[in-house]
Amino acid sequence: MTKIFETGKLGNIEVKNRIFMAPLTRNRAHANGTPHEISVKYYEQRASAGLIVTEGAQISQQGQGYVNTPGIYNDEQAAAWKKITEAVHKKGGKIVAQLWHVGRVSHTSLQPNGQAPVAPSAIMAKADTFTTEGPKNASMPRALKRDEIKAIIGDYVHAAKTAMRAGFDGVEVHAANGYLLTQFISTNTNKRDDEYGGSVENRARFYLEVLDAVIAEVGNGKVGTRLSPTVTFNDIHDEEAAETYAYLYSEVEKRNLAYLHVCENFPGIPTPKEDERLVRKLRASFNGNYIANGDYNKISATKVLEEGSFAATFGRPYISNPDLVERFKLDAKLTEPDPETFYGGDETGYSDYPTLHQPDHSTLQTAA
């Protein structure tokens, strides 16, 4: 099994292996959106990954949907992220910032001046968010006006520019898992009757305008994107998924991005057989750098790479195995993560998981 250990190049980003770290929301940022100091150690520990995709970083306060998530839109946040990128680079790693706007999956208490969250249409999500007072159902959103859409495109560009100042190797435009760009793409959340709603081309327009604007700012060799054709997380559903995503994959391929990162399934949500077939068909249709995500282990990741994918991303295994690459090389046991410490808290369950060279192996389980 050597494929996952091969070096390679994604656009302008050279990687030392194909074992990538998936974006993982951990809710450990400061209230002002600056990454916490403990995040330097957390990311540095995982620098042996071929590529680290950061947790989602909101492109504005309006883009925030959960308490204590980091931002990437002002100088203070950029300075805090720069400590992280420098630490990762010092260890020989590569890291990209995931640009995030949650859209309707937010709560008024997290929005500027307590305003309603924004969405393509005023349809409330049957989804939970997390506030300073604990879990709450997402608030009723309001529909974005045309000029506001243009302003948000500007926010993506500003965030990408901020990420470059912070020393990132690239950016990933997050258009998966039921957040703002997915809400425009999907039929159950977009009921607009203007140029941003209706046909596949119209529903995809905002997303593609964001991609083009970010490409114009930083270059396509430093831009990746994330999609999720069949994921229903955050009350999202596309009745025309096959047509929608065939179009999107084609448009992404035309832009020659660094990569397309696909969330093929979501933990805890069963995947119907027809969805699995669609994911495989779409994957086979894409001729660019395809990064697969969704409950992969060493064996299944090797298989999907042999079938043509560039890399696979690992989420939960990277939470509890900062030295995942080394463990894969040695066929070593993996530590099981503690779900109680996934979201919020301090170093516990975040930056204190042992490596193979540390003595505490009491929680090790059989490798997957």
> Active site includes 290?
no
Give the CB-side neighbour count of residue 317, counting CA atoms within 13 A.
28
Kindly name the residue from 179, 249, 290, 353 that is annotated as catalytic: 179
Q: CA gyration radius for the chain?
A: 19
The angle subtended at Cα 129 by Cα 155 and Cα 260, nearest 5°, is 50
**Backbone φ and ψ of 166, nearest 5°:** -80, 0
Residues with catalytic annotation? Answer: 179
